[in-house]
Amino acid sequence: MFHTRPTSSVLIRSAGLSYFPIAFIARLPFAMMTVGVLTLVVAERGSVTLGGLNSAVAGIGTAIAGPLLGAAADRFGQRRVLVPVGLVNAALLGAFPFVVASTAANATLLALSVLIGASAPQIAPMSRTRLMAIIRRSVRQDRREKVLNGTMAYESAADEMVFIVGPFLVGLLAVAIAPWVAIAGASALTFVFVTAFALHPTGRLHPGTEHSATSQAPARELFRFRLLTVVVGTLGVGIFFGATLTSLTGFLAVDGDGDSAGLLYGVMGIGSAVLALGTAALPERFTLTARWLAFGSLLLAAAIGYAFARSGTGLVVALAVLGCGIGPTLVTLYSLGATLSPAGRSATTMTMLNSAVVVGQAVASAVTGVVVDRLGVTTALAAPALAAALVVASAAAYALSQPRAATQPERDPEPVPA
């Protein structure tokens, strides 16, 4: 069973009280980036297609460069990577509003979006790596598994909250002031808090070598059917995120309210946050497989309601219910990924899941933007339901792949180093 916060005062004392708020805020620019780019381009250039493409290439840039930045941090240390990367990303974000407002060609805009995504600091995996190092160094052997599980759950909850707060801030700033303010704010947050995270004393810690002696499963184990169904499920979640945000932006843009998309998108985050954190209170007999099927089905039902919504009120209600399905589904998928991770391949497994979400969101943003412009917003509103159907289908495939799993307890996930 997961806990939603670190369970050891030793961990908190070792990391320092300032670490957790700094690490949380340092993640915000990443969550604001995709929504902010989409909102600003739609507002300035008047094309949902172009906005979706810019959002998509930013996500693809992150998915491609993210593992490379992680490998560089393992080799040279987090500080040597995060400081220059954070400064470059802050500068690119700061320049983006000026380029969008200029007469620069769309190709130039797309190239800049790729660079913004590629230079996005990978705070979440870096934070996990640091906390893992602290646990191995400071926590007794007999308590490490419990503290580790609680810490990983906290990290997942922090990621979930950031992806709620980020789009909400974008919408709030766009409506209250102007769309460019959100990107400028992300630039400032990157400059201040990513730098603070990089220079925090925990940045000197290294993961250690305890797991180096662990026998590593062959790479082919990563392509087992059950694990691949989980990857497909997270891909569906990513497609759902991209399709929902872009279709919502297109729907609101019809009445000139596209700037408020992030604000309404935050409504989905309310139920998502509450239910995601509430999964810790679910009984163990409510297995991960059953949760995936149950909350995935709720997501699909709400997405069908979203597809038929034709008013702002209908969208708000549908988004609120969607949040109740997507939060627990995403937490369950990451828990299953950790459970099914081959020996010594936890980091690779987590990277596969994270990349699936990012790529799904990026591709869906681009495709849904084209659908909005060519087929209309009514058609685009059905896209999240297709994504939710993929999530449910992969859940069914997972459940049917090993019928005995319904009567066997799912093992505790192995430690995730990054």
Q: Does domain 219-406 have CATH number 3.90.105.10?
A: no
pLDDT at residue 252 in the model: 79
What predicted TM-score, i.e. pTM, was given to this entire model?
Answer: 0.70
CA distance 311 to 159: 30
Instruction: State the amino acid at position 247 in one-letter form.
Output: S
Fold of 16-207: Growth Hormone; Chain: A; (1.20.1250)
pLDDT in tens, 11-68: 777 788 889 999 999 988 887 887 788 888 888 888 878 887 888 888 888 878 877 7
The parts of the chain modelled with pLDDT lower than 70 are 1-8, 74, 142, 144-153, 156, 160, 164, 205-217, 219, 255-263, 273, 276-277, 279-280, 338, 343-351, 403-418
CA distance 209 to 206: 9
CA distance 365 to 328: 23
16 φ/ψ sector (left φ>0, alpha ψ -120 to 50, else beta) = left
Please say whether the dihedral angle defined by the alpha carbons of residues 131, 132, 133 and 137, taken in this order, is positive or negative.
positive
Cα–chain center distance at 364: 14
What is the token pair recorded at 376? 């209309």
| Numbered ranges of CATH 1.20.1250.20 in the chain | 16-207, 219-406
pLDDT at residue 394 in the model: 94
CA distance 333 to 295: 11
Strand blocks (E) in 177-248: none
pLDDT at residue 176 in the model: 79
What is the token pair recorded at 283? 């009984």
Instruction: State the amino acid at position 285 in one-letter form.
Output: R
Nearest to 48 by CA among 375, 271, 418: 375
Residue 77 CA: distances (Å) to CA of 136, 194, 251, 369: 18, 15, 45, 39
**What phi and psi, each to the nearest 5 degrees, are found at residue 23?**
-65, -35
